[in-house]
Amino acid sequence: MDKISSLIAEYASSISFENLSTGAIKAAKLSTLDTIGAMIAGSRAPGVDTILELARNWGGAEESHVVSFGYGLPAPLAAWCNGTMARALEIDDCLDFLPVHPSASTIPALLAVAELKGGLSGKEFLTALAVGQDLITRMGLAVRQTAIQSGRMNIFRIFGPTAAVGKALGLNARDMQHALGISFSYGIGDGQANLDGALTVRLQQGIVAQGALIAGLLASKGFTGAKDFLLGRFGYFNAFEPNPRLEYLTKDLGRTFYGERVSIKPYAACRGTHAAIELALKFVEDCKIPSNKVKRITYRTSPEIFQFVGSPREAKIKPNSTASAQFSIQYVSAAAIARGDVFLKELEEESIHSRDILDIAQKIHVEPDDSLRTNSAVGHTILLIETEGGLTWERRLEELLGSPSRPMTYEQCTDKFIKCTDHSLKPLRKENVETLVKMVQHLENINDVSSLVSLMH
């Protein structure tokens, strides 16, 4: 019998707000503000209009609302739309030691639960989110090969959001286990979408949010799923990830919360490019040399980062879409040098074909270096710049801004949130933005989280 599956279900159903660490609560609040901002900004991302048009044409009961637009849809459709928007612009939170996005599916699903259930308190919301962030991270650590190595793009990511939904719905351990088993049928993820710069990268997060919500709702009505969903004969690990590191699933369960290790992204690009961006901005700040005086720019990264966001060189120098640009060290570091930032404006269609950025990108070379591998998925990065005047500038970056070791403050996250709301297809009222920031900061005092949703459009 799969004891770990039942142990996880017991943990997710029984944990309380009082059991959470201070760090887990703080991280959950930052992730909430950050993900709401990502959804709002994602309202104008390419492909989102297609998703929203389909969902609205299908219609149905107005159970939950689409962020930034304000119209109601059946809860699974709202979660689908909001989850897609949360991931659409590559600005949602992440983990630096794993290629995992802990909140982009979980928070849209929880907001749908809040509207469906009515009266979901801030404490209940934060507890559910902390459980989801913890479980998705534990699953990632248990897998031997990361998504970058295997290309499977974290099929396990369905389990964390489902545990969060089950917790928010108040499922007991038996029904929680069934919910997690049901969600196994919704496990999806392909890495080829990332390599091709396809819109399905963002769609997958919406599918997970929808699947997690449906799994929780089905279990709440007595529907059953595979009880041995992890270690049964055809359970997740036996079917997809052999030889797992099971100790990560159970060690200090309910005492250590991996949500404390979530990173907030200051730039609108794949986390694997953030060291390159930060180093490029540091060069501009330190040297103040015109870009036309730069002769050659060389990045050295871990082989995995090189393969994922540094090659093939020609495709990275001239990305054919916003999604491709976000996964290109050459493009984003060139944008940082040319424009002084890499956020949403720098990833618009006009920018990715701009001559001032592409001319710099031509000078950028990325090289793999085994010595830059670390326990972190992003590893370390070295930047070497040579100028026409003979100046050589070299820096190494080991800890990224927004990581647990270099965290962004709530004020910095607020600044990012405001930048996101300014990018919305339907801009929010200033008073709504200010109220959202304050309410999330004190979320444990909110009686009904659905009150946040009315401020998001």
Domain boundaries, the chain: 3-266+408-453, 271-397
Q: Does domain 3-266+408-453 have CATH number 1.10.4100.10?
A: yes
C-beta separation of 111 from 452 below 8 A: yes
C-beta separation of 426 from 68 below 8 A: yes
The 3-state secondary structure of the chain reads: CCHHHHHHHHHHHHCCHHHCCHHHHHHHHHHHHHHHHHHHHHHHCCCHHHHHHHHHHHCCCCCEECCCCCCEECHHHHHHHHHHHHHCCCCCCECCCCCCCCCCCHHHHHHHHHHHHCCCCHHHHHHHHHHHHHHHHHHHHHCCCCHHHHCCCCHHHHHHHHHHHHHHHCCCHHHHHHHHHHHHHHCCCCCHHHHHCCCHHHHHHHHHHHHHHHHHHHHHCCCCCCCCCCCCCCCHHHHHCCCCCCHHHHCCECCECHHHHCECCCCCCCHHHHHHHHHHHHHHHHHCCCHHHEEEEEEEECHHHHHHHHCCHHHHHCCCCHHHHHCCHHHHHHHHHHHCCCCCHHHCHHHHCCHHHHHHHCCEEEEECHHHCCCCCCCCEEEEEEECCCCEEEEEECCCCCECCECCCHHHHHHHHHHHHHCCCCCCCHHHHHHHHHHHHCHHHCCCCHHHHCCCC
C-beta separation of 183 from 226 below 8 A: no
Q: Which of 306, 315, 300 is nearest to 272 (CA)?
A: 306
- Round to whole Å and give the CA distance between 55 and 398: 43
Phi, psi of 119 (to 5 degrees): 90, 15
- Round to whole Å and give the CA distance between 30 and 28: 6
Q: What is the pLDDT along the chain (457 residues), one digit of tens a residue?
A: 689 999 999 999 999 999 999 999 999 999 999 999 999 999 999 899 999 999 999 999 999 999 999 999 999 999 999 999 999 999 999 999 998 999 999 999 999 999 999 889 999 999 999 999 999 999 999 999 888 778 778 999 999 999 999 999 999 999 999 999 999 999 988 888 877 878 898 999 999 999 999 999 999 999 999 999 999 999 999 999 989 999 999 999 999 999 999 999 999 999 999 999 999 999 999 998 898 899 999 999 999 999 999 999 999 999 988 888 999 999 999 999 999 999 999 999 899 999 999 999 999 999 999 999 998 889 999 999 999 988 899 999 999 999 999 999 999 999 999 999 999 998 899 999 999 999 999 999 999 999 999 999 8
**Domain at 271-397, CATH homologous superfamily:** 2-methylcitrate dehydratase PrpD (3.30.1330.120)
pTM of the complete model: 0.93
- Pairing verdict, β 72-73 and 64-65: antiparallel
- Round to whole Å and give the CA distance between 230 and 52: 34
Q: What is the pLDDT of residue 211?
A: 98
- Pairing verdict, β 381-387 and 392-397: antiparallel
User: What does the chain come to in residues?
Assistant: 457
C-beta separation of 93 from 35 below 8 A: yes
- For residue 406, the number of C-alpha atoms closer than 13 Å in the C-beta half-sphere is 11
Q: Which two tokens stand for residue 57?
A: 């044409």
Q: What is the pLDDT of residue 1?
A: 62
